[in-house]
Amino acid sequence: MIHSSSTADLADDLALASAPQRRSFWRALLGSPSGLIGLAIVAVLIFAALTAPIIAPFDPLRMAAGPRLQPPSLAHPMGTDDFGRDVFSRIIFGARLTLQIGVIAVGISLTCGLLLGLVAGYSSGWTERVLMRLVDVLFSFTEIVIALACLAIFGVGLTNAMIAIGIASIPFYARVTHSVVLVEKGKPYFEAAVAAGAGHIRLIFMHLLPNVVPTLIVIGTLGVSTAILAAAGLSFLGLGAQPPQPEWGFMLSSSRDLISRAPWMMIFPGLAIAITVLGFNLLGDGIREALDPRQTER
């Protein structure tokens, strides 16, 4: 058995990226325009979220921080809303909620989708067929309808919306994981590990998982942007964030009746969402290019 474990370890070593590869990953990421811009945008977002109480000029919930519906000025760079709250401060605090949405929703869908995809891909036969058929059906329901069904069950609210979005994207992550597992299962290192007598758990978690991770990092980063868009959409519909939360989608929804009188209430939260989503999209593309240089041609 000593023999077999050493063969399995060899397979492990081949599967994991070595240190120089990791260094060239960062160089590739920072060297590509999309990676660099994406990383910069995401860094600004994280900075805003962490230092919100320090950098925001006003309390985001404080009414009458200035006169109501004031256009952008030096005191209020993004104007004030119909309650006299400072839009700029609300957007900075909104970064916190946005990051939270991204992390929680993607965390749920990534974990469950990964497990489902791994199990389905590893155990061929009936288990795989039934699981993937179910995943396909759920996928065809579209995410928004699954999210609506979840909200009908849990009730509305921002936390529930995050969970609903997380659940709604599970089929997508399961599909991606499944297809990567199928490819990896055919590779020599995996066959070597099987031949060496590695057990199920070892095969799944030590051999397949590390090779699925790079793809999932890309998909997960892109998924943060989808989650942010979806949460903003649900909040816009009144199903997510509730007053007076400074959530960007909800801010857009409350700007609706005032579009002609106070367009800044509609423009800035929308810009904040678009730039954030763009940041995660570019970062995801940058990571993909850095992990797989052949794609860069495209």
Partner 1 sequence: MGKFILQRLLAALVTICIATIAVTILIHLVPGDPVRIMYGSFQTTPEELEAIRVRLGLDQPIWTQYLMYLERLLHGDLGRSIVGDQPVLDVLLARFPATLALTVSSLFIAVVVGMSLGFLAAYKRGTWVDVGSMVLAIVGVSMPHFWLGLLLLFLFALQLQWLPVAGGDWRSLILPAMTLGLANAAVLARLTRSAMIDIFDQDFIRTARAKGLPRSIVLYRHALRSGLVPVVSMLGLQFAYLMGGAIVIENVFAWNGVGRLAIEAVLSRDYPLIQGFILFFATVVAMASVVIDVAYAFLDPRIRYS
Contacts of residue 46, defined as CB under 8 A and 6 or more positions apart, other chains included, come to: 99
129 scored as a contact of partner 1 (CB under 8 A): no
Judged by beta carbon, residue 119 or residue 149, the one nearer partner 1 is 149
145 scored as a contact of partner 1 (CB under 8 A): yes
Q: Give, as ranges, the residues between 146 and 175 that touch partner 1 (CB under 8 A).
A: 148-149, 151-156
- The least distance separating partner 1 from the CB of residue 61, rounded to whole angstroms, comes to 23
Contacts of residue 15, defined as CB under 8 A and 6 or more positions apart, other chains included, come to: 189, 207, 210, 211
- The least distance separating partner 1 from the CB of residue 148, rounded to whole angstroms, comes to 6
Q: What backbone torsions phi and psi does residue 245 show, to the nearest 5 degrees? A: -55, 135
Instruction: Please state, in angstroms and rounded to a whole number, the distance separating the CA atoms of residues 97 and 242.
Output: 12
Q: Please identify which residue in 45, 218, 224, 266 interacts with partner 1, judged by CB under 8 A.
A: 266
Dihedral over alpha carbons 14, 16, 22, 25 (to 10 degrees): 90
From the CB of residue 115, how many other CB atoms can be counted at a distance below 10 Å?
A: 15
- The least distance separating partner 1 from the CB of residue 282, rounded to whole angstroms, comes to 7
Judged by beta carbon, residue 195 or residue 259, the one nearer partner 1 is 259
Contacts of residue 289, defined as CB under 8 A and 6 or more positions apart, other chains included, come to: 28, 29, 32, 34, 35, 295, 296
- Residue 44 CB-half CA count within 13 A: 14
- The least distance separating partner 1 from the CB of residue 289, rounded to whole angstroms, comes to 14
One symbol per residue from 171 to 210: x for binding partner 1 (CB under 8 A), - otherwise; what is it? ----------------------------------------
133 scored as a contact of partner 1 (CB under 8 A): yes
Residues of this chain that interact with partner 1 (CB under 8 A) are 133-134, 137, 140-145, 148-149, 151-156, 225, 229, 232-233, 236-239, 249, 252, 255-256, 259-260, 263, 266-267, 270, 273-275, 277-278, 281-282, 298
